[in-house]
Amino acid sequence: MAQIEQSDKGGKKKKGAQKKMSIHVDFTPMVDMNMLLITFFMLCTTMIKSQTLNISLPSNEKVEQEQQNKAKESQALTLILDTERDADGNVKTDPETGKPAHVIYYYFGKPDIADENKDGLLDNSILKAEKFVGNVNGQEQGIRKILHDKNKTVLEKIAVLKKDWKDKKINDDEYQARAKEIRNDSLIQDRPVVIIKAGPNASWESLIGALDEMQINQISRYQIDNINGVDSAMIFDYIAKNPKK
């Protein structure tokens, strides 16, 4: 509330001089009103929903876990994530891409390792290595091309569906529902089952990159597993046979 106070200081005043008035504004009601407004907006405003990546976590049920681990050898694809580090443990930079030096070892089907040869190395040739490259000139490269070719049938069907969505023949909800049906269609025989394994040197960035590739390539069946002794032996054998220049 504003109050007007008359200033009447001691001393003689000149004849005809105007009286000086001082205005005092009380801001207490304004503070109360601001608090009410803040409370109103907090209760009525819709907060921004965080964009999160949905990850299919393993179940505690033994039966579900056994069904999840069952896959045809022709559909299985294993990715083993690794990150090159220096002596201090810092992530190296790939000189070709200028990005962190992540390596993705992969193999199809089951690991098939024979006995050691005369050089003390495992007789294995199924393990290969790629990088996170993405698209170059509109074409898939690196591990993205491997995953794209493995899930080619699903991607082709979704590409046709996406064209109908762009032409506004179907709405967003219908597109999402039908795309989900295609990703989970059991009649598509060549749908891959991807097992992602993180090595001891792998960074969180490489794991997030692998999960992003699952979303980009419309792969619905994948799981995160632990690296084992056979995987480590295969990587050691690959590095020994393919030394860096």
For the chain, give the secondary structure using H, E and C: CEEEEECCCCCCCCCCCCCCEEEEECCHHHHHHHHHHHHHHHHHCCCCCCCCCCCCCCCCCHHHHHHHHCCCCCCEEEEEEEECECCCCCECECCCCCCECEEEEEEECCCCCCCECCCCCECCCCCEEECCCEEECCEEECHHHHHHHHCHHHHHHHHHHHHHHHCCCCCHHHHHHHHHHHHCCCCCCCCCEEEEEECCCCCHHHHHHHHHHHHHCCCCCEEEEECCHHHHHHHHHHHHHCCCC
Does residue 113 surpass a pLDDT of 80? no
Query: Which is higher by pLDDT, 169 or 24?
Result: 169
Q: Residue 19 and residue 41: Cα distance in Å, rounded? A: 45
Does residue 156 surpass a pLDDT of 80? yes
Note the pLDDT of residue 66. 44
What digits encode the pLDDT tens for the residues 27-68?
Answer: 777 888 888 888 888 888 776 666 665 665 555 544 444 444
**Pair 124, 234: CB distance under 8 Å:** yes
**81: β partners:** 104, 198
C-alpha dihedral sign at 229, 230, 233, 234: negative
Note the pLDDT of residue 21. 66
Range 75-103 average pLDDT? 89
Confidence of residue 242 (pLDDT cuts 50, 70, 90): confident
**Pair 183, 142: CB distance under 8 Å:** no
Range 92-117 average pLDDT? 79
**Pair 196, 215: CB distance under 8 Å:** no
Q: Residue 30 and residue 35: Cα distance in Å, rounded? A: 9
Note the pLDDT of residue 42. 82
Does residue 160 surpass a pLDDT of 70? yes
**Pair 203, 174: CB distance under 8 Å:** no
Does residue 114 surpass a pLDDT of 80? no
Q: Supply the pTM of this predicted model.
A: 0.66
State CA 149 to chain mean position distance.
21
Confidence of residue 122 (pLDDT cuts 50, 70, 90): very low
Q: Residue 57 and residue 166: Cα distance in Å, rounded? A: 33
**Pair 215, 53: CB distance under 8 Å:** yes
Range 150-165 average pLDDT? 92
Tokens found for residue 200: 């001891």
Does residue 240 surpass a pLDDT of 90? no
Note the pLDDT of residue 81. 94
What digits encode the pLDDT tens for the residues 178-223?
Answer: 999 999 888 888 889 999 999 889 999 999 999 999 999 999 899 9
Nearest Cα neighbor of 113 from 228, 242, 244, 194 is 228
Confidence of residue 163 (pLDDT cuts 50, 70, 90): very high
Query: Which is higher by pLDDT, 29 or 14?
Result: 29
Confidence of residue 15 (pLDDT cuts 50, 70, 90): low
